[in-house]
Amino acid sequence: MTDQPKLRLGTRQSPLAMAQAGEARDRLCAAQGWPVSAIELVPVRASGDKVQDRPLAEIGGKALWTKELDEWIAEGRIDAAVHSMKDVETIRPASLAIAAVLPRADVRDVLIGAASVAQIPRGARVGTSAPRRAAQLLHHRPDCEVVMFRGNVATRLAKLAAGEADVTLLAAAGLARLDKRGVGTPMDAREWLPAPAQGAIGIECRADDTVTRALIAAVDDASSRATVMAERALLAALGGTCHSPVAAHSTLQGGDIVLRAALFSPDGAERVDGECTVSGSDGTASAGLAADLLARASAGIAVHFGGAA
């Protein structure tokens, strides 16, 4: 082969993002029979990584994770970008295509600092910047106090160790990808619903770049794509934003997907649940579930939905 890489994969610079990009590279090289050197990882500093002292929703939402990578693809500086799918806006530019969703990892949240939600000390401070985690925790434990936690996994664990909070919640998939398995207690995803698309890595490229799309499609996992897209269709139909406390969990049953979801008021006092069976890929069932949830939601919940995701 020549000295030029066959693909340039863009990624955010955080340790977790780099680990995810490494997984994407390794899977692509294995599928194509390439040496690891055939794919160059190109770190790009995302806007969301530059501001750590405010909640994401206050400074621009999920687009802060994708903006620079989108620009680099458009400019031809990279061929594709690796994303954590839960951080990708549901409405994407028509010029881009999600060419692959890698086999989905553990979708669960992990509770760190207590053995269970019931065993969190009364009045404890819970560190999180995720509206879903905050609302779901307050729904079960209204006596607790939520304190804002942003930063990468190591930063949040360091804040916890420094006593800035008593407990926190992190994604099991992220901990595993950073070789931190065994930290904390995994939550039952049937009782503590995760974020839509949690645990999934996606690879995005130009929609009209047929060569790159075909190369990347070799690592697309059909069942993972199906569950992720069902959850993203739900989020899109809800008009969910970074402010919206929404949780979702998909399970495969035969050829269908059973999608469960819950919407919360930010203080956790109000909750509405529902589920549907997704048989196709057009998002109709997910949209129907979204409509049903919003129809039954209180004003305290509904006001946080209906915007652009």
CATH of the domain at 114: 3.40.190.10
Please check whether residue 281 lies inside any domain of the structure. Answer: yes
Q: Residue 119's domain spans which residues?
A: 109-186
Tally of domains within the chain? 3
Identify which has the larger pLDDT, 207 or 281. Answer: 207
Q: What is the pLDDT of residues 32-41, one digit of tens each?
A: 999 999 999 9
Q: What is the pLDDT of residues 280-298, one digit of tens each?
A: 878 899 999 999 999 999 9
Please check whether residue 70 lies inside any domain of the structure. Answer: yes
Q: Which of 49, 79, 87, 106 is catalytic?
A: 87
Residues 96 and 16 in one domain: yes
What global pTM score does this model have?
A: 0.91
Q: Residue range 82-93: average pLDDT?
A: 93
Residues 177 and 124 in one domain: yes
Is position 87 annotated as part of the catalytic site?
yes
Q: Does residue 113 surpass a pLDDT of 50?
A: yes
Residues 175 and 29 in one domain: no
**Predicted pLDDT at 309:** 42
Question: Cα 144 to chain center, whole Å?
Answer: 25
Q: Does residue 21 surpass a pLDDT of 80?
A: yes
Residues 204 and 98 in one domain: yes
**Predicted pLDDT at 248:** 97
Residues 136 and 171 in one domain: yes
Most confident of 33-47, 111-125, 149-163, 241-255: 111-125
Please check whether residue 226 lies inside any domain of the structure. Answer: no
Residues 14 and 65 in one domain: yes
Q: Does residue 221 surpass a pLDDT of 60?
A: yes
Q: Does residue 61 surpass a pLDDT of 90?
A: no
Please check whether residue 297 lies inside any domain of the structure. Answer: yes
Residues 126 and 268 in one domain: no
Residues 260 and 287 in one domain: yes
Please check whether residue 267 lies inside any domain of the structure. Answer: yes
CATH of the domain at 271: 3.30.160.40
Residues 84 and 37 in one domain: yes
Which range has the worst mean pLDDT, 42-46, 74-78, 104-108? 42-46
Please check whether residue 193 lies inside any domain of the structure. Answer: no
Please check whether residue 2 lies inside any domain of the structure. Answer: no
